[in-house]
Amino acid sequence: MNPFLIELYKKFLYGKITKSEFGEMRYEMNKTSNEEFAGFEQNEWNDFVIREKMLADKKTEIRNNLKFFAGQQSQIKSRGKIWLKIAAVLVPLTLVGSLFLFLNQKVNSNHSFLVEVARGNKATVTLPDNSKAWINSNSSLNFIANSNESREIKMNGEVFFQVFKDKKRPFIISFDDIKIEVLGTSFNVKAYKNRETIETSLVEGSVKISGHHLSREFILKPNEKAIYNRKSNNLTIVQTNNELETAWKSNVLRFDTERFGDVMNMLEDWYDITINNQYPQIENDLITGSFKNEGIESVMDILKVQYNINYTRNGKIVTILPVK
């Protein structure tokens, strides 16, 4: 076993590791076989028990901490605002279950609450009104409680909401073009600023969608998805598969007849990489796939075979090439 890894892991156990050291530990772990590290890990735990009298549930806590390292998780209280920035580093060796960082923050109902989640990560938060939000990678959410009148959300990216029912205070997600209003329901919203559409998929309950560019209000029913095009200002409602729409909550990357270019955007956010497509002829091809706990190279290898492409990888840069 690498002595440097041993030293870093001991620091991790005792909560003395820095962000940069954790990155080094992750790098060294990825070079070590699962079998070798598992034996080393057990020995370290046994030693830790003798010296620190570790409780029975301490191993679970350590394993959970290994899944995520909050590289920059800050709380700034200023004028009633709480701000969290999540830049977690995944350690693939010990992933056994949900890949979400769970945060629970209770604040005064008049406070705002901002959460930002970096690419390659996800988070689950309980909002000040007791609603719950699952936040996908490269996404942000700003909760604003307007006294006793309403609960307003500003967001970018993809979020699944489970809204706490409060008839006196509607739950409103506002964009420049449209707003989504609910009382108590579960639904998924995908609205990245650099993409043309805002998608709302309803799991249960009902939501109302309105906007100054729309001729009327639209009411969604369960298993329906509203797709609003920011360029044309058109809104269409289609039947949808909620298992597909919310698969990301279970760390499953799924896409069904999606544009190749859109899927590449998904992969960039999911794996925190940059993809350069040197094969523009396939940008609008429709592709389908489902991946759970797969590394980016495994995903690209499958796409390479199924869709007849080549690719190269240099660190966080993936380049797609035509087959010669």
- Share above pLDDT 70 across residues of the chain, in percent, rounded to a whole number: 71
- In which residue ranges of the chain is CATH 3.55.50.30 found? 251-322
pLDDT at position 267: 94
Residue 295 has pLDDT above 80, yes or no: yes
pLDDT at position 220: 94
DSSP readout, 3-51? HHHHHHHHHHHTT---HHHHHHHHHHHHTS-HHHHHHHHHHHHHHHHHH
What are 61's strand-pairing partners? none
Distance from C-alpha of 117 to C-alpha of 137, rounded to nearest angstrom: 6
Task: Tell me the residue type at 258.
Answer: E
C-alpha dihedral sign at 98, 103, 109, 110: negative
- CATH code, residues 81-244: 2.60.120.1440
State mean pLDDT over 133-159.
87
Q: Could you give the C-alpha distances from 78 to 75, 83, 278, in angstroms and in order?
A: 10, 9, 46
pLDDT at position 28: 74
State mean pLDDT over 208-229.
93
- pTM value? 0.67
Tokens matching residue 28: 């060294």
Q: To which residue do tokens 């840069």 refer? A: 317
Tokens matching residue 227: 């797709």
- In which residue ranges of the chain is CATH 2.60.120.1440 found? 81-244
Average pLDDT for the chain: 77
| pLDDT confidence band for 211 (50 / 70 / 90) | very high
State mean pLDDT over 188-202.
93
Tokens matching residue 37: 């590290």
pLDDT at position 124: 86
Distance from C-alpha of 49 to C-alpha of 47, rounded to nearest angstrom: 5
Phi-psi region of 181 (alpha: psi -120 to 50; beta: other; left: phi over 0): beta
pLDDT at position 8: 77
pLDDT at position 187: 95
Interval 38-80: pLDDT, tens = 566 556 554 544 344 344 444 454 444 444 333 333 333 333 4
| pLDDT confidence band for 104 (50 / 70 / 90) | very low
Distance from C-alpha of 112 to C-alpha of 193, rounded to nearest angstrom: 21
Tell me if residue 65 falls in helix, strand or coil.
helix
State mean pLDDT over 97-102.
37
Task: Tell me the residue type at 83.
Answer: W
- Share above pLDDT 90 across residues of the chain, in percent, rounded to a whole number: 38
Residue 162 has pLDDT above 90, yes or no: yes
Domain boundaries 251-322, CATH class: alpha beta
Q: Lowest mean pLDDT of 54-63, 72-81, 111-120, 132-141, name the range.
A: 72-81
pLDDT at position 34: 59
pLDDT at position 156: 94
